[in-house]
Amino acid sequence: MTVYAPPLKDLRFVLQHMIGLDGLAALSGYEHVEADFVDAILDEAGKFLTDVWFPLNRSGDIEGSHLRDGVVVTPEGFKDAYHRMVQGGWLGIPFPEQYGGGNMPATIVTAIGEMINATNTSLAMAPGLTQGAVDALLEHGSEEMKETYVRRLIAGEWTGTMCLTEPQAGSDVGALTTKATPADDGTWRVKGTKIFISWGDHDLTDNIIHLVLARTPDSPPGTKGISMFVVPKYLVNEDGSLGALNDIQTVSLEHKMGIKASPTAVLSFGDQGDGSIGYLIGEERQGMRYMFTMMNNARVAVGLAGVSIGEMAYQNALAYAQERIQGRPIGASPDEVTPIIGHANVRRMLMTMRAQVEAMRALLLENAYAMDMARSHPDEETRRQYSLYADLLTPVSKAWATDLGSEVASMAIQVYGGMGYIEESGMPQFYRDSRILSIYEGTNGIQALDLIGRKLPAGGGAAIMGFIANMKAIDADLAKAGERFSSMRTLLADGVTALEQATGWLAMNGMQDPNQAAAGATPYLNMLGTVAGGYFLAKSALTASRLLEEGNADKEFLEAKIATARFYAEQLLPLGTALLGPITAGKDNLFAIDPDQMRH
C-alpha cells in the first residue's frame, strides 16, 4: 500500500525563502498572494487531494478506463472526485476573475499542481488539458468563443483537449491531413482521424471541447498550412444548452503501459456525413502559433508531473527502507539486524532521490515565477527579460524533470528490491506512469533541439548569459558561508565553467554545421539541468544557513537542506560537468556507421 504526505514544508520553503512571495504580491492583481493566504491554500489543497484523489490512484490503475458500447467509462470514484474538485473551486484558480477564475499566479498554481499530479496522475490530466484549451481560447479566441466555452471550461462543467496527432503525423505535426472546409454559414466542416487524444472521451462531464488542428483548402504544405478549430463533442445552442452530437466517434481507447485510468482515444471527425462542425480560432494558417500557447504551458505541466511522481516514489521508498529489516550493519555483531536504510548503498539511492526531487521542484517553481513576471510585471523591459528566461527554462523543465522523474521511480523499485517489481507494492505504477512524460508534448530530444536552436540564441543569447552570470555571482556568498560550503562552491564553479564552454562550442559549431549542435543537444540540456539544479540547491543551502543564524527553530529541516545540497554538489553535479566531452564530441561518431551496417 502506497503512502503520500503533501511536501508542504518544502514547498513553503521554496516559495517564501527562495522565490519570494513579496515579488508576486507586488504585481497588479496578485496583491492577495501573501504568505498566510498561500499557506492556507496549500494546506486545504493537500488535505483534499490526499483524502479524495489519492485513494483512487491505485484502484484507477487496476480498473482503467474502458470503451463499452460506444461509451467511455472511467474508473469507479473518478467522476465523484472530479466533481468534488469542481465544487471546491480548485479547477478555476489559474484563470481571470472576469470569467469566473481565481486569478492565482502560475507560481502558486504550480505548487498546488505538484500535489494534484502526485495524488492521481491519470485524473490530473483532465483539468490540465482543459487549462491548455482555456489558455488558447483566452489568447486567440473571439469574444463569442470565450462566452460560449471558456466560462463552462473554467467552471469544470466541460473539459478540453488538444487534437494534434494523427497516424502519420506525430512529432512532425506539419504532416497532418485532417481537412476543414468552409460552409455557407461561417462554420467549417472538419474530417479526419486523431490519435493519442488524452481524455478525448469520458463520462466526467456532459461536453468536451476539442481544439483541432486541420488543413484548410489551398493551404501550403507543412506547418504553415495549419489552422485551429473549436470542435465540440456536442453542439451548443444559442441559449447555452447542448444540441446534437457533432459527428465525433470514439473509435477505440489505447492499451497503454501506464496512466491506465486516463482514457487515450482515437477520434474520428466527420465520418458519418459532411464533417464535424468546427469554428475557426483566429485567422487561417495560424494554428501552429496558437498551438504553442497551449504547448508551452503543457510542457511545464508535464515537467511538473515528473517532480510529482519523483516525490511519490521517494516518499514510499523512504518509508519502506525504514521498515524493511534485512542484513546487519558492517562491523556489527552477528545477531544484530538493521532496517535497510542503515546500508550505505540504500542511503545513496535515497539521498539521490531526495536531492533530485528538491532540485526539480526548485527549477519548476522558478520557471513558473519567470512566467508570472513575464506576464504581469509593470516594466516592459523586465517582462521581456523574464520572458526569455522562462523560455530558456521551459524545455529544461520538461525534459530534465521528466527524465529524472522516471529515474527516481526506477530507483524506488531498486530500494524495494524484489518486492518493488511486484505490482502490489505500487512501485511499478509510478515507473509506468512516469515513462510517458518524456514523450508527451514533444519528445525530450525535440526539447533539446528547441533549447539549442531557438532558446539559446533568442535575444542574442541574453537569457543563457544572464543565467550563467547569476550562477557565477553566488560564488561570493558561498565563499563567505564557511568551510562546509567549500566543496559546493568548487564543484558548482566547475559546472558553470563547463556549461559556459559548452554553450560557446554549440554557438560556434552550430553556425557552421547545425548537425554538430544537434549531436550535442541532449547532453547539453542534461548539463544545463544538472548545473541549474546545483545552483538552486546551493541557494537553498545558503538560505537555510541564514535562517539558522537568525535562530529559526526548525533546525533539523534546515540542516537537512544544507546536507542535501552538499550531497548533490559532491555526488551529482560532477556528472553534469563531465558532459562537456559528449557535448563537444560532434556528429562524426553518430554518423560513422551506415544504417545498413548498424545491425549485429
| DSSP helix/strand/coil, 193 | strand
Asked if residue 543 lies in contact with residue 599, where contact means CB atoms within 8 angstroms, the answer is no
Phi-psi region of 482 (alpha: psi -120 to 50; beta: other; left: phi over 0): left
Cα–Cα distance, 405 to 431 (Å, whole number)? 8
Asked if residue 61 lies in contact with residue 77, where contact means CB atoms within 8 angstroms, the answer is no
Q: In angstroms, how far apart are the furthest CA atoms of the chain?
A: 88
Contact partners, residue 556, CB within 8 Å, separation at least 6? none
Q: Which three cell numbers stand for residue 465?
A: 548569459
Phi-psi region of 551 (alpha: psi -120 to 50; beta: other; left: phi over 0): left
Cα–Cα distance, 562 to 156 (Å, whole number)? 42
Q: Which three cell numbers stand for residue 430?
A: 509510478
Count the neighbouring beta carbons within 10 Å of the beta carbon of residue 304: 32
* Residue 441 annotated as catalytic: yes
Q: Which three cell numbers stand for residue 109?
A: 498554481
Q: Which of 441, 549, 556, 570 is catalytic?
A: 441
Q: Which pLDDT tens digit goes with each residue over 466-495? A: 999 999 999 999 999 999 999 999 999 999
Phi-psi region of 64 (alpha: psi -120 to 50; beta: other; left: phi over 0): left
Asked if residue 374 lies in contact with residue 386, where contact means CB atoms within 8 angstroms, the answer is yes
Closest CA to 311 of 194, 205, 401, 200: 401
Q: Which three cell numbers stand for residue 414?
A: 531498486
| DSSP helix/strand/coil, 385 | helix
pTM of the predicted structure, to 2 decimals: 0.96
Helices (H), 377-482: 380-416, 427-435, 444-450, 462-480
Give the pLDDT of the chain (600 residues) as one tens digit per residue.
899 999 999 999 999 999 999 999 999 999 999 999 999 999 999 999 999 999 999 999 999 999 999 899 999 999 999 999 999 999 999 999 999 999 999 999 999 999 999 999 999 999 999 999 999 999 999 999 999 999 999 999 999 999 999 998 777 777 899 999 999 999 999 999 999 999 999 999 999 999 999 999 999 988 899 999 999 999 999 999 999 999 999 999 999 999 999 999 999 999 999 999 999 999 999 998 998 888 888 899 999 999 999 999 999 999 999 999 998 878 778 788 889 999 999 999 999 999 999 999 999 999 999 999 999 999 999 999 999 999 999 999 999 999 999 999 999 999 999 999 999 999 999 999 999 999 998 999 999 999 999 999 999 999 999 999 999 999 999 999 999 999 999 999 999 999 999 999 999 998 889 999 999 999 999 999 999 999 999 999 999 999 999 998 899 999 999 999 999 999 999 999 999 999 999 999 999 999 989 988
- Report the DSSP pairing between strands 188-198 and 264-269: antiparallel
Q: Which three cell numbers stand for residue 296?
A: 508551452
Contact partners, residue 405, CB within 8 Å, separation at least 6? 305, 306, 307, 308, 309, 310, 360, 434, 437
Cα–Cα distance, 316 to 5 (Å, whole number)? 10
Q: Which pLDDT tens digit goes with each residue over 515-572? A: 999 999 999 999 999 999 999 999 999 999 999 999 988 999 999 999 999 999 999 9
Residue with cell 568551510: 483
Asked if residue 338 lies in contact with residue 325, where contact means CB atoms within 8 angstroms, the answer is yes
Residue with cell 501550403: 220
Closest CA to 488 of 538, 551, 436: 538
- Report the DSSP pairing between strands 188-198 and 207-215: unpaired
**SS3 sequence of 339-373:** EHHHCHHHHHHHHHHHHHHHHHHHHHHHHHHHHHH
Q: How far apart are the first and last CA of the chain?
A: 44
Percent helix, strand, coil in the chain (nearest 5)?
60, 10, 25
Asked if residue 401 lies in contact with residue 427, where contact means CB atoms within 8 angstroms, the answer is no
Q: Is 51 exposed, middle or buried (0-12, 13-18, 19+ CB in 10 A)?
A: exposed
